[in-house]
């Protein structure tokens, strides 16, 4: 739908339509209403306007991520960008950090740039307190918002997630069954996905009547493996006993491998370790790291397909869930 169509259907001049769109005062209330009604009726958006004028074929999708140098998010951005490009869309990337205000401000900025849709990569954009998700609700009232590995039940928001809870639940049961019962859960994110993973671990431990309280949150840099290893050594010095580590991502798991080696545990005979994301890090250590593959490329492909469907006006699923897969290597029995 173009400005011409609106003009025709509202029975006013193109200049009048432009004035309404620009919020100019030189339009009577009656005329304004006529134009806005047509716009509402045909779900016209300024984007379609720009496109109709051939001024700016937008075809741009905003991507928000907390930190593009995080291994998992870097990979996600890579897949998303490639798949958008192959469908003729450009990507406008905003790295927001982890602060709510910065996220809301990036969101506004992308909307100002008239992107066709916004992808929130990673689950740290969703808050438990409903009011803190207002920036997403607001955005979704204008353009579709896609969540990668997060979930929010509001209109015009679509989720594609990996079933982190079940992946972690099953993997924990397997570690217990292979003989390790004093398992430390090691994590550094309390995001939607982070909490789902933690619950999977806790529920599996409780099901087997074991202590589900051995979970420790690491607050440092997401890539400072040396510091993570120190953290584990301090836990040990403080008297904590554990012979298995289930980590919420491969970087933390790698620190556990370093810890076990420095403590002269034999892996996997005396000490077992499980990572998450099945990243390139899994083959960096010795023995190589068992890890859960959460099918990131599949998620991204599906996310883009869903977005393209929504933009084309098709009925698309609100939420799609994929299963993860345990990739066995040398750190588990």
Residues that bind a second copy (CB under 8 A): 3-4, 13-15, 18, 21-23, 46-47, 49-50, 53-57, 60, 63, 67-69, 71, 74-75, 77-78, 81-82, 85, 90-95, 109, 112-114, 223, 225-226, 251, 254, 258, 261, 280-281, 283-286
Work out how close the CB of 12 gets to a second copy at its nearest, in angstroms, rounded to a whole number: 12
Q: Is 167 helix (H, G, I), strand (E, B) or coil?
A: helix
Q: Torsion angle of alpha carbons 49, 53, 54, 57, nearest 10°?
A: -10
C-beta closer to a second copy: residue 172 or 331: 331
40-47 long-range Cβ contacts below 8 angstroms, 24+ apart: 41/9, 42/1, 42/5, 42/6, 42/9, 43/1, 44/1, 44/5, 44/6, 45/142, 45/143, 46/21, 46/114, 47/114, 47/116
At what angle are helices 3-10 and 14-21 packed, to 10 degrees? Answer: 110
Task: Write the DSSP assignment of 2-40 as a string of letters.
Answer: -HHHHHHHHTS-HHHHHHHHTT-SSS-HHHHHHHHHHHH
Q: How many CB atoms lie within 10 A of CB 153?
A: 8
Work out how close the CB of 130 gets to a second copy at its nearest, in angstroms, rounded to a whole number: 28
C-beta closer to a second copy: residue 68 or 305: 68
C-beta closer to a second copy: residue 31 or 202: 31
Work out how close the CB of 248 gets to a second copy at its nearest, in angstroms, rounded to a whole number: 17
C-beta closer to a second copy: residue 66 or 171: 66
Work out how close the CB of 9 gets to a second copy at its nearest, in angstroms, rounded to a whole number: 15
C-beta closer to a second copy: residue 95 or 316: 95
Tokens 């607050």 correspond to 219
Work out how close the CB of 31 gets to a second copy at its nearest, in angstroms, rounded to a whole number: 16
Work out how close the CB of 132 gets to a second copy at its nearest, in angstroms, rounded to a whole number: 22
C-beta closer to a second copy: residue 20 or 246: 20
Report how far residue 263's alpha carbon sits from residue 236's, in angstroms, rounded to the nearest whole number: 10
């Amino acid at each position: 739908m173009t400005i011409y169509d609106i003009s025709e259907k509202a029975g006013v001049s193109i200049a009048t339509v432009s004035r309404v769109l620009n919020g100019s005062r030189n339009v009577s209330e009656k005329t304004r209403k006529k134009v806005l009604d047509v716009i509402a009726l045909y779900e016209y958006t300024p984007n379609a306007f720009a496109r109709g004028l051939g001024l700016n074929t937008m075809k741009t999708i905003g991507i928000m991520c907390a930190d593009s140098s995080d291994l998992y998010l870097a990979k996600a951005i890579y897949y998303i960008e490639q798949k958008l490009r192959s469908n003729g869309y450009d990507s406008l990337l905003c790295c927001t950090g982890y602060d709510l205000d910065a996220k809301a401000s990036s969101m506004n900025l992308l909307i100002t740039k008239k992107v066709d849709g916004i992808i929130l990569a990673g689950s740290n954009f969703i808050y438990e307190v409903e009011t803190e998700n207002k920036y997403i609700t607001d955005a979704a009232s204008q353009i579709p918002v896609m969540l990668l590995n997060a979930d929010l039940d509001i209109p015009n928001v679509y989720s594609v997630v990996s079933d982190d809870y079940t992946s972690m639940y099953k993997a924990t049961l397997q570690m217990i069954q292979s003989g390790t019962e004093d398992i430390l859960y090691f994590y550094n994110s309390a995001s939607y996905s982070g909490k789902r993973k933690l619950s999977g671990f806790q529920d599996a431990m409780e099901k087997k009547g074991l202590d589900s309280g051995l979970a420790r949150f690491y607050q440092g840099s997401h890539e400072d493996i040396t510091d993570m290893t120190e953290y584990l050594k301090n836990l040990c010095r403080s008297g904590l006993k554990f012979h298995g580590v289930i980590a919420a991502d491969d970087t933390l798991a790698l620190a556990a491998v370093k810890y076990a080696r420095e403590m002269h545990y034999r892996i996997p005979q005396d000490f077992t370790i499980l990572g998450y994301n099945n990243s390139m890090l899994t083959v960096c250590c010795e023995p190589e790291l068992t890890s859960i593959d959460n099918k990131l490329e599949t998620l991204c492909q599906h996310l883009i397909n869903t977005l393209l469907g929504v933009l084309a006006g098709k009925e698309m699923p609100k939420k799609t869930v994929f299963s993860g897969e345990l990739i066995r290597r040398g750190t588990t029995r």
